Amino acid sequence: MNANGLQGEWLVGVDVGGTFTDFSARNLATGQVCIHKRPSTPDDPGRAVIAGLAELVEKHAIDPASITRFAHGTTVATNALLQRRGARVAVVTTKGFRDLLEIGRQIRPHLYDLQLDHPAPLASRDLRFEIDERIGSRGEVVRPLTDESIAALIAELREHPEIEGIAVCLLFSYLNGDHEGKLAEALRAAFPDLLVSVSREVQPEFREYERFSTTLINAFLQPEVSRYIDRLRNNVGNAAPKAAFGIFQSSGGLMSAVKAADYPVRTALSGPAAGAVGAARSGALSKFEDIITLDIGGTSSDVCLIRNGRTAIARSRDISGFSIRLPMVDIHTIGAGGGSIAVLANDGLMKVGPESAGAVPGPACYNLGGTLPTVSDANAVLNRLPQELVGGGFALRRDLAVDALRPIADKLGIGLETAAMGIIEIVNSNIVRAIRTISVEKGYDPRKFALMSFGGAGGLHAAEVARALGMKQVLVPEAPGILCADGLIAADLQEDFVTSCHLKLAAGVAELEAVVQKLFVQGQAWLKTEAVDAQGERLLLFLDMRYVGQNYELPVEIEAAVDAQGRVALSDADTLARAFFETYERNFGHHDPAAPVEIVNARLRVLAHLSRTDYAQDKPAAETGEAKTIQVWFGEGYRDTKLIERVGLKPGDSFSGPAIVTQLDTTTIVPPGATIRIDEASNMIMDLN
């Protein structure tokens, strides 16, 4: 490090996907960005990470000792949960509540499917144990936890040597955690080789089923994820000895590797969440704060709403049928990707997805053995995917796509191009519905947002999706294929704190201020221990509020003033009520100003800003020859369409559609009537008429 403290320092972000592991490296002093992709290694994702890191530093002549931060987005927890490949877990709960995890909310997964059931709990019934104790609904001790009960439980557990982890889930422990703490201490002493997850540590929040489920998932994932993180941290330490190691969490920020090993459930949506953060960062560089993201891969599409530069956050969600009660970036996923297969159903109507051809055998046009018609094949038939991608490294076979689509066209009695356009319109309609779920159904007008496309297939569908929603602009980042990896570099250190409280707003804010004060003390303590190198900090306060008598609440962001002595002061009750009414009105279209309001949770998000810089603004553009002209199907026929390589575009360039813009990791369709301009951040902005 030289006198300016920055030159030579590099940040590296690594996102592991099912097909590729993506790398983005940025120089703190110059803003220079280097990217790299290599095939993933599903049997051990860490092998691709370490091999790719070695390739990255060699390819771009980066001194490994100059890497000061290594941020990792992982799918290990997600895949383990989807495949039920985790630990043999025992659950310890209050006497009488052994079957709570199986009973759940007593609702069917799908209303009209009487045969489909919830997945079996991650802990079988013979590994769910009860202990004679009880905390009451006000935090009082109803039945004490005795040493004799603990000894009897430990004896029972010793009869099951197959147990690899223990989840402790006692009733009302979020109000009084003494019993859970005492029990956890005894279990950790009796079974030092086992990992113990405790609900009051994982998520100290009301709603017993969701808290129990989240804690069980954490215990289920902990052995495998902690082993993976320990191996990777050691290997990264050898390869980049000065790099601070961070893991991306589902809520949109980085946490330490130690915390990720303790709470792997927080990484359940690590990769997609990083994409949303990268999108917010890329949009900010172009001065776009209100964005809806569209990330289309080979199998699925992810959409997310970003407002005022911040991603929407969900407080709970189901993953593969398992309930997780934690703050997560609110990403909606559907089975619509380039490999989604088109079929004629029994009713004679065409459907697209969720089944996918995947990477192998893949779409027919890839010439890897696939024969079924897919979305990529439909784009290839319409010449929307050029037969030769950038650099000629991968050639598509339009003739094989034609062979795959012809049976559907013949059965429907329509032309080949009409069938292909039908496939694209169906998948676009599915994406439009997904975007309406995260926008219109939550009180946001998508016409007031710009659409940001990324992923391998996002640019192929973005313009038509945006037009269907009445959106006027589409943003395409400079390197859409590595946006998730770049989001890792842009992320802050982050920690969330929550406490449950049941307070009537009419009673005033004094008691609420005392609750919030405790959260702020926790947040400041975290900053002092986990974020000593931070360049700044930000604390965000949310109150979960509802009308008295309702069963579900809305998160409302609240301003809080902190004086020089660290004392917290909130606005008066009327101001807090108005904030709730505005949120309620936006979500449901009405509100009742006379109805009493209550608060059930207080949440504090603490952000510690890390060193980072913008992209270099003077990146040289490659020289390209005159754009080729190809025939592409738009509307009712083929039109002359420019084929433009993005590598030759530079800030200030502009052109009109129809055009196809190709680059190493994606293809973007510019329809007739649309115009493209390249801004100073090298983002491509499409204006739609």
Q: Residues 138-191: pLDDT tens digits?
A: 999 999 999 999 999 999 999 999 999 999 999 999 999 999 999 999 999 999
Cβ of 241: how many Cβ atoms within 10 Å? Answer: 10
Q: Residues 589-620: pLDDT tens digits?
A: 899 999 999 999 999 999 998 876 555 444 44
Q: Residues 349-358: pLDDT tens digits?
A: 899 988 888 7
Q: pLDDT at position 434, please?
A: 94
Query: For residues 95 and 74, what is the distance between their CA atoms, to the nearest angstrom?
Result: 37
Q: pLDDT at position 617, please?
A: 42
Residue 354: cis peptide before it, omega within 30 degrees of 0:
yes
Q: pLDDT at position 393, please?
A: 53
Q: pLDDT at position 654, please?
A: 94
The proportion of the chain whose per-residue pLDDT surpasses 70, expressed as a percent, equals 95
Q: Which residues pair with 303 in a beta bridge?
A: 294, 332
Q: Which residues pair with 292 in a beta bridge?
A: 305, 451
| Pairing mode, strands 536-547 and 597-609 | antiparallel
Given pLDDT bands bounded at 50, 70 and 90, which one contains residue 570?
A: very high
Return phi, psi of residue 516, to 5°: -65, -35
Token pair in block for residue 68: 């000061």
Average pLDDT, rounded, for the chain: 89
| Pairing mode, strands 637-645 and 628-634 | antiparallel
3-state secondary structure of 500: strand
Return phi, psi of residue 676, to 5°: -120, 140
* Residue 4 predicted with pLDDT over 50: no
Q: Residues 203-252: pLDDT tens digits?
A: 999 999 999 999 999 999 999 999 999 999 999 999 999 999 999 999 98
Given pLDDT bands bounded at 50, 70 and 90, which one contains residue 509?
A: very high
3-state secondary structure of 241: coil
Provide mean pLDDT across the span 278-282. Answer: 91
Given pLDDT bands bounded at 50, 70 and 90, which one contains residue 636?
A: confident
Q: pLDDT at position 497, please?
A: 95
Token pair in block for residue 684: 């491509």
Of 76, 49, 61, 484, give the one whose Cα is nearest residue 238.
49
Domains of the chain are 81-226 (3.40.50), 278-335+428-488+642-687 (3.30.420.40), 340-426 (no CATH), 492-609 (3.30.1490)
| Pairing mode, strands 89-94 and 67-73 | unpaired
Contacts (Cβ under 8 Å, ≥6 apart) of 406: 416
Query: For residues 293 and 280, what is the distance between their CA atoms, to the nearest angstrom?
Result: 9
The pTM (predicted TM-score) of the whole model is: 0.86
Query: For residues 262 and 223, what is the distance between their CA atoms, to the nearest angstrom?
Result: 9
- Cβ atoms 183, 91 nearer than 8 A: no
* Residue 3 predicted with pLDDT over 80: no
The proportion of the chain whose per-residue pLDDT surpasses 90, expressed as a percent, equals 65
Burial profile 431-460: b = 16 or more Cβ within 10 angstroms, e = fewer: bbebbbebbeeeebebeebbbbbbbbbbbb
Contacts 24+ apart (CB under 8 A), 54-61: 54/239, 56/12, 56/23, 56/25, 59/34, 60/25, 60/34, 60/36
- Cβ atoms 375, 356 nearer than 8 A: no
Provide mean pLDDT across the span 642-663. Answer: 92
3-state secondary structure of 264: helix
Of 572, 442, 556, give the one whose Cα is nearest residue 507.
572
* Residue 12 predicted with pLDDT over 60: yes
Of 17, 491, 10, 48, give the one whose Cα is nearest residue 235.
48
Q: Residues 41-62: pLDDT tens digits?
A: 878 889 999 999 999 999 999 9
Q: Residues 339-379: pLDDT tens digits?
A: 899 999 888 889 998 888 876 788 999 888 999 999 999 99
* Residue 433 predicted with pLDDT over 60: yes
| Pairing mode, strands 554-558 and 637-645 | unpaired
Given pLDDT bands bounded at 50, 70 and 90, which one contains residue 76?
A: confident
